[in-house]
């Protein structure tokens, strides 16, 4: 099994949740400069900050630090990916419905 560094796991989860570093830092009560400095210099956070990070990202602290609990985390990432795909499909369906309604001469919903 390939070792994935702490900050790589954090980045992967931030991307999966579509959360910016700035919003993440604010959510866990730290400055974005501190977060980015830790990431840049590969410094691990203190225990309290690490716990808040794990909780905010929906994983266990063991996963962030050691990569344990991998199965549960990978399942959560799959669920997030499925949600993103469903959102895209819903947007496309809404667009198709809107366009087909216009083509048939039916005004878009809410404009009757």
Domain range summary for the chain, segments of one domain joined by +: 6-103
Top-confidence residue, 110 or 82: 82
Question: b/e for 41-56, b at 16 or more Cβ within 10 A?
Answer: eeeebeeebbebbbeb
Average pLDDT of 28-41? 94
The mean pLDDT value of the chain amounts to 83
* Residue listed under structure tokens 């630090």: 65
Which pair of structure tokens corresponds to residue 39? 């990431």
Supply the pLDDT for residue 60. Answer: 85
User: What is the C-alpha to C-alpha distance for residues 18 and 100, in angstroms, rounded to an integer?
Assistant: 31
pLDDT tens column, 58-76: 888 888 888 776 566 677 7
CATH number of 6-103: 1.10.260.40
* Residue listed under structure tokens 């878009």: 108
Closest residue by Cα to residue 67 from 12, 28, 16, 18 = 12
Average pLDDT of 71-99? 80
């Amino acid at each position: 099994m390939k070792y994935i560094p702490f900050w790589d796991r954090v980045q992967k989860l931030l991307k999966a949740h579509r959360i910016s570093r700035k919003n993440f830092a604010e959510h866990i009560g730290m400055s974005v400069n501190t977060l980015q400095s830790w990431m840049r210099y590969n410094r691990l956070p203190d225990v309290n900050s690490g716990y808040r990070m794990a909780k905010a990202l929906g994983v266990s602290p063991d996963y962030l630090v050691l990569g344990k609990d991998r199965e549960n985390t990978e399942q959560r990432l799959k669920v997030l990916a499925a949600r993103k795909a469903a959102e895209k499909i819903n947007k496309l369906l809404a667009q198709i419905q809107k366009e087909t309604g216009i083509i048939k001469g039916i005004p878009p919903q809410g404009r009757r």
